[in-house]
Structure 1
Amino acid sequence: MTSIELVIERTIAAPIDRVFARLVDIDRYGEWMPAKGSILRGTRQTSPGAVGLGTTFVDQTRLGETPGDVVEFEAPTTVVFHWWEKSKKGTLKAEGWPGYQLSATGDDRTLVRHRAQLNLYGAYRMAAPIFRRFALRERTTVMDALKASFETDPLRRT
């Protein structure tokens, strides 16, 4: 196994509870996720009820469907998702843990620390440098889209 870890931070002009609510509203990702520059095409929650620990979802990506679940959840400060990709034989090819740690910084601003871990297995390990560049671009695009979604939000507090 080869592991890749990334950390990206952004300060968002919105209260912590609103930022957290946006991050855990799985079915509405399409409203703020970028249409270009991301592999993600949509996400849908597959378990009933409010999002919390154990909630399941499916990401629709350019490469197909990827299942996942919520593995850490502490409102309004922490959410960590887990996704995995398996071969047709059922062996892991890759799995990731994109997570968000939020801190209120006053004046209705929130520091979002995004930590992403990607584990690669089998032949995928040989392409780790390519996956690292791709993951950094993908995660940066997502964080920039999250920040921009509040800059254009008509309910944003000024």
Structure 2
Amino acid sequence: MTDAEFELTRTVRAPIEQVFARLADVEGHNEWMPDKGSMLRRTRQTSAGPPGLGTTYEDSTTVGLVPGEIVEFDPPRRIVHHWWDSTRSGRIKMEGWPGYTLESTGDNETLVRHHAKLRAHGIYRMATPVLKRMALKERTVTLEALQKSFE
């Protein structure tokens, strides 16, 4: 297995609790994610109840449906998602762990550290450099959209 990892940071002009709430609201992503520049088209929560540890969802992307789950949930400081893409036979091709660590830097300001890890399996490992570039672009678009959603 080959992992690709990177970290991005942005400052968001909003209190930490509001930033965390926006990141945790799985279906709320549909309201602030951009229509262009992202692979994500829509997100749908597939488990009942408010978002929290174990919440499942399904992303509709330009490459198909991708299931995911919230695997770390520590309000208002940390949230980590885990998604995976499988073959028709159920073998995982690639999976990712996009996570956010938040730090209050003022009354109305939050530092967002976004750490992403991507793992390709089998023959898809050869595409890791390309997948990393795609993931970096996607995660950059996401953070920029998060920032703009509070303006």
The sequence identity of aligned pairs, in percent, is 55
User: CA offset at residue 88 of structure 1?
Assistant: 1.1
Q: Secondary structure at the match of 1:95?
A: strand
Q: Indicate the residue corresponding to 2:38 in structure 1.
A: 38
Over residues 48-78 of structure 1, what are the superposed CA-to-partner deviations in whole Å (9 max), with x where a residue is unaligned?
Answer: 0011100000001011111111100011011
Does 2:66 match 1:66? yes
Q: Is it true that 1:107 corresponds to 2:78 in the alignment?
A: no
- d(CA) in 1 for partners of 2:122, 2:99: 24
Partner of 1:94 in structure 2?
94
Aligned residue type for 1:63: V
Q: Say what the alpha-carbon RMSD is for the aligned residues.
A: 0.7
C-alpha distance in structure 1 between counterparts of 2:107 and 2:49, whole Å: 32
CA distance in 2 between counterparts of 1:143 and 1:27 reads: 17
Give every structure 1 segment of 4 or more consecutive aligned residues whose post-TM-superposition deviation is greater than 3 Å.
none
TM-score by length of 1: 0.94
**In structure 1, what residue type is equivalent to 2:128?**
A
* Shift, 1:128, TM fit: 1.2
Q: CA deviation at 1:127?
A: 1.0
Structure 2: gaps spanning 5 or more residues: none
> Scaled by the length of structure 2, what TM-score is found?
0.98
For residues 9-158 of structure 1, what are the structure 2 equivalents within 5 Å?
Answer: 9-151=9-151
Is there any run of 5+ residues in structure 1 with no aligned partner, and where? 152-158
* Alpha-carbon shift at residue 104 of structure 1 (Å): 0.4
Helix, strand or coil for the counterpart of 1:130?
A: helix
1:156 alignment partner in structure 2: none
What is the number of residues matched between the two proteins? 151
How far off is 1:34 after superposition? 1.1
